[in-house]
């Protein structure tokens, strides 16, 4: 049962525009959310996270928004750059404790065109 869902398998955006990647979750116990970027044949790289006590977290060009009532989060990349082209995974866990595994969505493949 997929508890974290990324319903858009792919997204294409022009360089300089905003990329918005969406993620939904079903487990109301999740209270810590993360976004990872992944290239083929490599491990995921951490991008940004958000705790359920917040509704927004910003780090440079990356902003994550959390809507707890809708069980929805999104990652905004502004401005998008060709180097952002990769697969983006949304992940969630119960707590930020090191003993809890992450639950991943299936990923969204982002292509940023020049």
**Contact positions vs another protein (CB under 8 A):** 2, 4, 9, 34, 36, 41-46, 49, 89, 91, 96-107
C-beta closer to another protein: residue 17 or 56: 56
Q: Which of 20, 23, 30 is nearest to 6 (CA)?
A: 23
> Shortest distance, CB of residue 83 to another protein, whole angstroms?
19
Provide the CA 97 distance to its chain's centre, in angstroms: 19
* DSSP code string of 55-105: SEEEETTEEEEEETTTTEEEEEESS--GGG-EEEEEEEESSS-TTSPPEE-
Is the backbone peptide bond immediately before 104 cis, with ω within 30 degrees of 0? no
C-beta closer to another protein: residue 9 or 16: 9
> Shortest distance, CB of residue 110 to another protein, whole angstroms?
14
> Shortest distance, CB of residue 50 to another protein, whole angstroms?
11
C-beta closer to another protein: residue 13 or 87: 87
């Amino acid at each position: 049962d997929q508890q974290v869902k990324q319903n858009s398998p792919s997204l294409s955006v022009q360089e300089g525009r905003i990329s918005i990647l969406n993620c939904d979750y079903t487990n109301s116990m999740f209270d810590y959310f993360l976004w990872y970027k992944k290239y083929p044949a490599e491990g995921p790289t951490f991008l940004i996270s958000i705790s359920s006590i917040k509704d927004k977290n910003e780090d440079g060009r990356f902003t994550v928004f959390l809507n707890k009532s809708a069980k929805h989060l999104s990652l905004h990349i502004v401005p998008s750059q060709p180097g952002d082209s990769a697969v983006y995974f949304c992940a969630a866990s119960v707590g930020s404790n090191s003993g809890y595994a992450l639950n991943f969505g299936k990923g969204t493949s982002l292509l940023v065109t020049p």
